[in-house]
Chain A
Amino acid sequence: MKADAETLYGMIVEFEDVPLLMTAVSKCRDFGFTKWDVHTPFPLHGMDRAMGIKPTRLPYLVLGGGLMGLAAGTAMQLWMNAIDYPLNISGKPLFGIPANIPVMFELTVLVSALTVFFGMWSMNGLPRLYHPLFKSRRFRRATQDRFFIVIEAVDPKFELEETRKFLASLGGNVIEEVTENPED
C-alpha cells in the first residue's frame, strides 16, 4: 500500500509472540508515545502496566450517576406523594422512607448502569462504524494469531522516518503504514 504523508493514519508493527510484544510495548511507553494502541487476539495480563495506562476515571462518573439517580428517586417520590398529590395509603406517612427505598435503590442502579454503558462508549469514542485500520489486510490477523502495535500519525512524537526506525528496532515482523482515506 502506498503511503501519503498528508493522509497517513499511522504505522503498525506486527508481532508473533507475547514476550517480545510486551518488551516492545514497554519501550513504546518509555519513548513517550501518547496516541498509540496495542491490538491482541485475547486479553493479556499486565498490558495496562506495560502500556502505562492510568486507571479509568469511569468509576467517578458512575458514582456521580448513582448519586443523581438516588436524588431523582427521592425528589420524585417526595414531590409526587407528599407535595403535589398527597394520598394517604393505609395511614402510612406521606413520605415514608422504608416504602420509598425500593424506588430510590432502583433509580440509583439504573442511572449507574446507564452511566457505565454510555460513559464507556463516549470515553472510547463509540459508536464508530469505520476505522482506518480496517483497510490493512494484515491487521485482520489481530483477531486471530498476531499482535500489533499502532502508533498514530497525530502523536506529537511521531516522525515518519524516526518512528519507522524506532519500530524496526523493536524486533517485530513487518512495519506497515496505514492511510486515512477509505478508497484504495
Chain B
Amino acid sequence: MAHQRVPSLKDTETMLSSLGPKVFNACLVIGLIGLAAALGLGLAEGDNLRHFGFSYLVNFAFFLSISLGALFFLAIMFITKASWNVVIRRLAEVIAAIMPLLGLLAIPVILLAGQIYGWAQPDARTSHAMAHKAAFLSKDAFIIRWAIYFAIWSAYGLFYWRTSVKQDGSGDVALTRRLENYSGHALVVCSLATSLAAMDLLMSIDFLWFSTIFGVYYWTGGFVTFFAVLTLITLGLQSTGRLTKIVSMEHYHDYGKLMFGFTFFWGYIAFSQYMLYWYANIPEETAWYMLRSENGWGWVALAVLFGTFLAPFCGLLSVQAKRNLGMMAFWAAWIIVAQWVNLYWVVMPEFSHSFTISIMDLAAFFGVGGIWLAGITRLAMGTSLVPLKDPRLEESLRFENV
C-alpha cells in the first residue's frame, strides 16, 4: 500500500542459525533410518531387491522432480526478469543446487536397472521392437546418459546458487545480467535433458510403450510439487520467526496462482496423453493404461484423476483460497501426496500387476526425502535465506498483486 512502510530485511530473521543443525541432524537421521529400513525390508523379500528397486525409483523420481522444478523456476524467473520472487528465491536456489546429491542418490537406480527396466531383462533381446531400440536402451548408454543429465543439472543448479551467493557480498549487477543471459540456454538444455531423463527413468520401464508428451508429464508434476513444497517451507520458516513480514500474502498469492495454473496444466497434459491413446485404440499403446486400470490399479487411477487434478483445481480456483494460509497449507500438502500417488501409479503396476503398497514405500520416501532435505538444509545453513543485494529485492519487498 502506497502509504504503508515497505518492510526491510532488518525487520526479520534471515539466517537459519541454530535451527539449521537441528533440522539437518533430524533429516539425516530420518533419511538414514528410512533407507536402511527400506533396504532391510527389500532384502527380506528375497527377490534380488526387485521390489526395493521399484519402491526406491518412485521416491527418487519424486524428489528429483521437485529439484528440477526449482531449477526451471529459477531459469524462468531470470529470463523474464521477474522481481516478485526475489525474497523467496534463495529457497529455490538451494533446492536446485542439491543436484549433485541427487546424482549420488541415482546410483541405486542404476545399480538395480537390471531388476527394474524391461529392456534390461534377458527376454527383451528376443523382442523385435527391442532390436531397433537396443543401442539406446542398453546399460552402458543408460549410465552415460545419467552422467550427462546430472552434469547438466548440477552445473546449472550450482551456477544459480553460487552466483546469487556471490552477489550477497558484492551486490554486482553484472551477476544478475549473467544469470539472466545464461537462463536462455539453461531452459533449452535442461528441457532436453529432463525430457529424455523422464523417458529413461519412468517410460522405459516398459520399453514397448512410448509417449511423446511423457517428458512434459513428468516435468509438470515436479513443477507443481515444487510450488507446494515451497509453500510449506516458507510457512514453516515463518512459523519460526524467519522471513516474517518480508514474505507477505502477496507472495503466497503468487504461489497459489502457480500451483493452480500448473495443476490445471498437469491435468491438460495427462488427459491429452490419455485421450489420444483411448481414441486411437491401438493395443501396443493402450497396454500401458490397461495395466494401470485393472486389478485394483483402476482405483488408484481415479485417485490420481481427482487427487492431482480435479480436487486441487476446485480448491484453489477462488482468490480467497489463495490468500488464506490455512487453505494454502492444506492444498500444498494435498498436492505433494497426490503427485506422489501419481508417480506410484506410473511406476508400481510394472512391478505388480495387482495393486500393492507396502511399508517399504513409506520407508523409502522418508529415506530419500530425509537425505534430500538434509542436503538442502546444509546448503541453506551457510548463507542468508534471502538474496541480500539483488537489484530487484526492493521491488520484491513492495510487491503487490493489483
Determine the distance from Cα of A55 to Cα of B281 in the docked complex, in whole angstroms: 48
| Top 5 A-B pairs, shortest CB-CB distance | A46-B1, A98-B278, A46-B2, A45-B400, A98-B275
Interface 1/0s, chain B 313-341, versus A by CB < 8 A?
00001110000000000000000000000
Interface of A is mostly: helix
Given contacts A45-B400, A90-B281, contact A98 B3 (CB under 8 A): no
Contact of A18 with B271 at beta-carbon distance under 8 Å, contacts A43-B402, A98-B279, A99-B279 already known:
no
Question: Is the CB–CB distance between A22 and B275 below 8 Å?
Answer: no
Scoring B residues 252 to 284 as 1 if CB is less than 8 Å from chain A, else 0, what string do you get?
Answer: 000000000000000000010011001101000
Once bound together, how far apart are the Cα atoms of A126 and B279, in whole Å? 45
Is B4 engaged at the interface, CB distance under 8 Å to the other chain? yes
* Chain B residues with CB under 8 A of A99: 275, 278-279
- In the complex, A23 Cα to B339 Cα: how many Å? 48
Instruction: Check A46/B400 contact, CB under 8 A, given A22-B2, A59-B318.
Output: yes
Task: Give the complex CA separation of A62 and B319 in angstroms.
Answer: 13
Q: Is the interface of B mostly helix, strand, loop or mixed?
A: loop
Contacts of A98 in B (CB 8 A): 271, 274-275, 278-279
Residue positions of A touching B, CB distance < 8 A = 18-19, 22-23, 43-46, 49-50, 55, 59, 63, 90-92, 98-99, 101-102
The contact size tier of chain B is 10 to 19
Q: B319 touching A45 by the CB < 8 A rule?
A: no
* Interchain CB contact (< 8 A) of B402 among A22, A45, A55: A45
Residues on the A chain within 8 Å of B317, using CB: 63
* Measured CA separation A43–B278 after assembly (Å): 49
Minimum Cβ distance to chain A for residue B316 (Å): 13
> Closest Cβ of chain B: how far from A21's Cβ, in Å?
9
Residues of B within 8 A of A101 (CB): 271, 275
Establish whether residues B2 and A45, one from each chain, have CB atoms under 8 Å apart when the complex forms.
yes
Q: Chain A residues near B402 (CB, 8 Å)?
A: 43, 45
Taking the closest CB of chain A, its distance from the CB of B265, in whole angstroms, is 13
Q: Which residues of A contact B274 (CB under 8 A)?
A: 98
A sample of 13 cross-chain residue pairs with beta-carbon separation below 8 angstroms, ordered by A number, consists of A18-B2, A19-B3, A22-B3, A43-B402, A45-B2, A46-B4, A50-B2, A59-B319, A63-B317, A90-B281, A98-B274, A101-B271, A101-B275
Bound Cα distance A92, B400 (Å): 50
Residues of A within 8 Å of B271, CB to CB, are 98, 101
> A22 vs B2: C-alpha distance in the bound complex, in angstroms?
8
CA distance A98 to B319 in the complex (A): 30
A7 to chain B, nearest CB (A): 36
Cα–Cα, bound, A49→B3 (Å): 11
A22 proximity list for chain B (CB < 8 A): 2-3
Residues of A within 8 A of B318 (CB): 59
- Give Cα A18 to B2, complex, Å: 8
Q: Give Cα A59 to B318, complex, Å.
A: 8
| CB of B358, distance to nearest CB on chain A (Å) | 32
Nearest A residue (CB) for B320: A55
**A101 CA / B281 CA spacing, docked (Å):** 17
Determine how close the nearest CB of chain B comes to the CB of A151; give it in whole angstroms. 21
Contacts of A49 in B (CB 8 A): 1
CA distance A23 to B4 in the complex (A): 12
Measured in the bound complex, the distance between the Cα atoms of B402 and A55 in whole Å is 12
Once the chains bind, are A45 and B1 in contact (CB under 8 Å)? Answer: yes
* Residue numbers in A under 8 Å from B319 (CB-CB): 55, 59
B254 to chain A: closest CB distance in Å? 15
- Chain A contacts of B2 at CB under 8 A? 18-19, 22, 44-46, 50
Shortest CB-to-CB span from A166 to chain B, Å, is 21
List chain B residues, Cβ under 8 A from A63. Answer: 317
A115 to B125, CA, bound (A): 58
Shortest distance between the CB of B235 and any CB in chain A (Å): 24
